[in-house]
Structure 1
């Protein structure tokens, strides 16, 4: 029976890893549908190469930073076939795979914010730094109890900082890191006039944008539900809460976003971002409200970001992941309370302090990493390259090569 249980857990976590891996296709197509046609190839290439770099950085450095585990041992040891350092049947290996897909979401999130004007190889360097050092540092603090911060929060505020599936650890950190990257890059050419007026740049392909959102929505049930990391710990509450939050985000985005398809499809994602932290402790009605608030927050944040604050965040990843991630961290401390039908075991102050520490860490790290890269090797395409588009300037082929050939590009 023990062997069967271990095997079931290995298979369960492996399926979760595969579902979250599939989400990266969602990130890719969400970006492909949003950017202009001359930058579509770059969006696809960035996501898949970022994942490859993330895997190497997290395997050799990041996982050890977060959990103190190194896989630099014989295969018989790390698979659990011999010795007792690693779990049987390679469970620690599939756990690494699962958590790697979370780590790789960080550069995938940032990719959407810096689209259409970022240089390729400097971004890969940033990816290696973020997934090898920056993200795992905070991941280990929250999910492994490193440096005693969780113990201090629990002692001070009556409960530890609760982030079941990463509203703050993954999405909040990714979104606030992206803010630094976007600000350091500056706006796209022609985005804002000298008088401050905004020049609209429409999405290139609404069906691709919608496809990206759908892929992410489906994969998110692996992201959230399988964060239990064992068959014994899985609960349908997480699945239904994820569903209700997604629906809440869609419905409010329809109203607040005035039927805009971009807002509607991102509203679903906003709800899912916000429910990650408390999906295992909220009542479904609390999850619905959380998702609804997140959908409205995304629309408000995107419009303020683009039109008032003049922050050219192409896909709105700071409002979507950063702002809605922060909302999710706080909402867990409200709708997770027993008084509001939740499971309990959380406090609002613990959630507030943990969330603010997370976004402060990510914001500072984003400005430092991208600021240093900007000052040393440069992170932005030159004007001619940006005008031609990242596809031809970096990859020497467009999304529609026959058109490029007939038009002499």
Structure 2
């Protein structure tokens, strides 16, 4: 074989390997959606378990269509109306890249689902999910991960020119989790609290229906998260063991601190690793492992404190799974923390700017809040987004799906 043939074979092998690598990442993140589902199943009351399962899988289906036909083009300027021959160039890498990034996009409605559980209508919420995945999420995704300009202004280019570095969000602390959490804030605010949740100004505790299901959901998410973070490199030559170990350290930091601050509460303990993993996404490729441990620990405490405060002090803000503190606040913390612990002075690899991280994080929050209030406010005005009092009393399982989670229902 001549040198040209050898080069061609090596190139084909490289494309094949990269395609397989990112495909495995897509599958791992796809599996995380089962984690979202079972985390919600274990947290909500028994009469809403079927609805939790159905929402996650139908949201994924709707998200795929919305992202395939609209969202991916908004973010990256690429559509899928080319011939199959064109789409399968380089072993179909671009198609698999879409699959991988789709699993991120579909996490947005999966995050929101936990916040609005037990009292939301079905089809109107699916419409809202489609709109967020088609327009709101990819708008910010394209600005950060593709350098898109808005009315001729490129945020990333401006940050790099002004502060020496663009907004760094390796695996989506802000782009995915922060945006999802702050859209959820708008949805929860507009939806209102579950009936019977607050009586005479005091909280009525709705205990989780099944701690084992909740724990299984947390474990599925935790394992899948290593595909979420490590495989955000998207190619084999970009893979880094630092991302894996930083994810591990942030995870255990979240567990230990949530255990201490949450006083051994199993709900807090199983959300602790998720808080740590949300926070480390942004800087997982630049932090020192000790820095990642600290970032995860702070996130674990932040989730416990803010979730408890919101539940007890703000009676109309009924965030069932605590998705706003878990994803919205811990995601924002992760974006900012990257600019602190990612610097060489703090043992990181450098190449980050605290001012860029602050501005980028605030931009993500602004896009999410504005987009969330527009989308859910519009759907609320047109069709309503809340079950009737009787439907909510009977539970979403029977009211929407006409079946309970067991034969006894």
Task: Note the 1:52-91 alignment, pairs <5 A.
Answer: 52-80=61-89, 88-91=90-93
The gaps in structure 2 that reach 5 residues or longer are: 1-9
RMSD: 0.5
In the alignment, which residue of structure 2 is the partner of 1:85? none
Quote the Cα distance in structure 2 between the aligned partners of 1:309 and 1:173: 22
Q: Deviations over 1:130-161 (max 9, x none)?
A: 11111000000000000111001111111100
TM-score, length-scaled by structure 2: 0.96
Does 2:220 match 1:211? no
Q: Verify: 1:31 aligned to 2:34, yes or no.
A: no
Aligned position for 1:349: 355
- Corresponding residue for 2:263? 258
Name the residue aligned to 2:204.
199
Is the CA contact 2:136–2:367 (under 8 Å) kept in the aligned structure 1? Answer: no
* In the alignment, structure 1 residue 223 sits paired with structure 2 residue 194: no
Match of 1:103 in 2: 105
**Inter-partner Cα distance in structure 2 for 1:103 and 1:375:** 25
Partner Cα separation in structure 2 for residue 204 and residue 156 of structure 1: 51
Cα distance in 2, alignment partners of residues 371 and 59 from structure 1: 25
After TM superposition, the structure 1 = structure 2 runs for residues 310-321 of structure 1, keeping only pairs within 5 Å, are 310=315, 311-321=317-327
Q: What does residue range 77-156 of structure 1 map to in structure 2 within 5 Å?
A: 77-80=86-89, 88-147=90-149, 148-156=154-162
Q: How does 1:378-397 map to 2 (within 5 A)?
A: 378-397=384-403
Cα distance between partner residues in 2 of 1:114 and 1:288: 31
Separation (CA, whole Å) in 1 of partners of 2:35 and 2:86: 35
Q: How does 1:201-350 map to 2 (within 5 A)?
A: 201-310=206-315, 311-350=317-356
Aligned length in residues: 395
Question: In the TM superposition, what is the alpha-carbon distance from 1:330 to its structure 2 partner?
Answer: 0.4
CA distance in 2, matches of 1:73, 1:333: 40
The runs of 5 or more residues in structure 1 that have no matched partner are: 81-87, 405-409
Q: Any idea what the Cα deviations from partners look like across 1:51-95, whole Å, max 9, x if unmatched?
A: 000000000000000000011111111111xxxxxxx10000000
CA distance in 2, matches of 1:40, 1:322: 24
Stretches (4+) displaced over 2 A: none
Q: Are the equivalent residues in 1 in contact too, given 2:167–2:356 (CA < 8 A)?
A: yes
CA drift at 1:371: 1.0
CA deviations on 1:320-340 (whole Å, 9 max, x unpaired) are: 000000000000000100011
Secondary structure of the residue that 2:106 maps to in structure 1?
helix
Mapped pair 1:164 → 2:166: no
* C-alpha distance in structure 2 between counterparts of 1:121 and 1:376, whole Å: 12
